[in-house]
Structure formats: structure tokens, C-alpha cells
């Protein structure tokens, strides 16, 4: 499914389980590409992708604004790389990243939200994933990736969030909680990660039933909060580069007093980030 790009919203590409055409997305799903089953119309047989897209870009219409996403005018480009169980082949993720390189100008994609990750079992596969997201970053796009839910051990940030270039997001309320699953650094290359943290516990967003919402937890939920904030910033200042945006993100974070490999620079502060 493809549409002509209209309006002034910023395009966010989501690599996830797909997207359900929830009313909160109105007509802003610009493109849907299914790398799993090759179905042409938007669908989500898991719910994770719909949830993350709602956090970043839902307009909250069905909840009278209560569950509005961060950037309710952003355009959505949904790339289904995970199946109904949330599993996927790394080659399909690589295919999706290459698709973005080809189509990002056509759909106005400025941000790539990757709320998925993999632990390092095969270094060569791991490196392919890192190299691919860094090619997208080097093309000028802002790549925002989850730190993963494999914490709290050091070195538990998943790929591609372990890339030194991309913006890696941990969960601020799942670092020292009873379930401290937010991934933490350092990475294999001794890079301190995550870069920043945002709330990720029991976040309410769009469900795969029309007009319904559901709560989910994890760094997957923290990541689109940052992606949505970046979309708002780019609506105000579209000339900013990904490097400038990352720098601004780190400079405006609130230090939580935790080690850098747990919190990065600290808590994402949307209002300060946009000021």
C-alpha cells in the first residue's frame, strides 16, 4: 500500500510486527511493507508494532486525547519484519533497512524507530546488522533503537542498539525496579550505552482492536517516545542533522544519578528538548 506524500508531518519508519489501522492513525499510514507474508494491506498479528506506533504517533482520538502519542501529526511507514510471535529473521531486517535507503525521500522518512533487538550469538551477523543501521544513519536519517530487555547484566544492550552512532534508548523505570530488565552497556566495542532513557513500564497505547488500548512494558515502549519527540523537533527545525539532534538530546537529558551504562545521559525531557 502506497500513498502520495502530503502535508508537513515528519515520516517515522517502524521496523516491527506491522500495524493495525487504528482510528488514532487516521490517514497517516503512508506505506506498509510486509517482509514476512508479503500481504499488501496493513495488519498486525502480534500487536507490538501497533503499540509502538501509537506511542510515537497516535492522535488519541478514541480516548479523547488521553492516550495521544507524542507526535500526533507524524506520518507512519510500517515495515513488518517480525511474525505473530515477535520473531524475525535478521536478513529481513537488513532488507527493510535497505528498503528505507531506497524509499526514504519518497515517503519523507526522517526517523527510523527500531523497537526490536537481538543478542550477539554470531559476531558476523551482529556486525551486518550494525553496519546496516549505520548506513541508514550515514544517509542522514535519525535511527532510534531500543536498548533491549536483557538487563541488568553489563553488556546486555541488544543489536542494533549497540551501534555507537544510533540513539539507543533504555527504560528509566526498569533500571533499578523490581524487574530491572533495561539493557545496559558497555558494548563489545566498549561503547557506553544506552544514550538516554525514557519511561517504559505499563505504557498505554493503541491495541489491535478498533478504538481499544492496551498496556505494554519494555524498552520497546521507551524508544518511540524519543522518536516522537524527535519528530516534533524536526517539525519545528527541519534542517537539523541527525548528529545535531543526538547532541541536543543528550544535552537536555536529566541526570538520574546512575552509572552511565545504566542511564546514559539521563531521562528524556521533551519540553526541554523542544525549547
Instruction: Report the first-to-last Cα separation within the chain, whole angstroms.
Output: 37
The verdict on whether 16 is a catalytic residue reads yes
Residue identified by cell 519508519 is: 13
The DSSP secondary structure of 99-167, one letter per residue, reads HHHHHTTTTTEEEEEE---B--SSHHHHHHHHHHHHHHHHTT-EEEEE--S--SSTT-PPBTTT-SSSE
The verdict on whether 78 is a catalytic residue reads no
Selected catalytic residue, list 22, 48, 51, 126: 48
Selected catalytic residue, list 115, 192, 220, 227: 220
Selected catalytic residue, list 16, 24, 44, 195: 16
81, 252 Cβ separation under 8 angstroms: no
The verdict on whether 104 is a catalytic residue reads no
- The residues pairing with 198 across neighbouring beta strands, listed in sequence order, are 171
135, 105 Cβ separation under 8 angstroms: no
Q: How many CB atoms lie within 10 A of CB 230?
A: 30
Q: Report DSSP state, residue 210.
A: T
Q: How many CB atoms lie within 10 A of CB 163?
A: 24
* Catalytic residue IDs: 16, 48, 220
Amino acid at each position: 500500500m502506497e500513498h502520495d506524500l502530503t502535508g508537513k508531518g515528519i515520516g517515522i519508519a517502524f521496523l516491527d510486527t506491522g500495524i493495525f489501522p487504528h482510528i488514532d492513525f487516521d490517514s497517516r499510514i503512508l506505506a506498509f511493507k510486509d517482509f514476512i507474508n508479503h500481504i499488501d494491506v496493513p495488519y498486525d498479528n502480534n500487536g507490538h508494532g501497533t503499540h509502538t506506533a501509537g506511542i510515537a504517533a497516535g492522535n488519541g482520538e478514541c480516548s479523547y486525547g488521553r492516550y495521544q502519542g507524542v507526535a500526533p501529526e507524524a506520518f507512519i511507514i510500517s515495515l513488518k519484519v517480525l511474525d505473530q510471535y515477535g520473531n524475525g529473521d535478521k536478513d529481513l531486517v537488513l532488507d527493510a533497512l535497505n528498503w528505507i535507503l531506497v524509499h526514504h525521500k519518497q515517503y519523507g522518512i526522517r526517523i527510523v524507530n527500531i523497537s526490536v533487538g537481538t543478542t550477539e550469538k554470531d559476531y558476523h551477523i551482529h556486525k551486518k546488522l550494525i553496519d546496516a543501521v549505520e548506513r541508514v544513519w550515514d544517509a542522514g536519517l535519525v535511527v532510534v533503537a531500543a536498548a533491549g530487555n536483557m538487563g541488568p547484566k553489563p553488556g546486555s544492550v541488544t543489536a542494533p542498539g549497540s551501534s555507537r552512532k544510533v540513539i539507543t534508548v533504555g527504560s528509566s523505570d526498569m533500571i533499578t525496579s523490581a524487574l530491572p530488565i533495561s539493557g545496559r552497556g558497555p558494548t563489545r566495542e566498549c561503547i557506553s550505552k544506552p544514550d538516554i532513557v525514557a519511561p517504559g513500564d505499563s505504557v498505554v497505547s493503541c491495541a489491535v482492536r478498533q478504538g481499544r488500548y492496551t498496556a505494554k512494558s519494555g524498552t520497546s515502549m521507551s524508544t518511540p517516545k524519543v522518536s516522537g519527540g524527535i519528530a516534533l523537533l524536526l517539525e519545528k527545525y527541519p534542517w537539523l542533522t541527525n548528529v545535531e539532534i543526538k547532541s541536543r538530546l543528550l544535552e537536555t537529558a536529566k541526570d538520574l544519578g546512575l552509572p552511565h551504562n545504566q542511564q546514559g545521559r539521563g531521562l528524556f525531557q521533551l519540553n526541554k528538548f523542544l525549547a
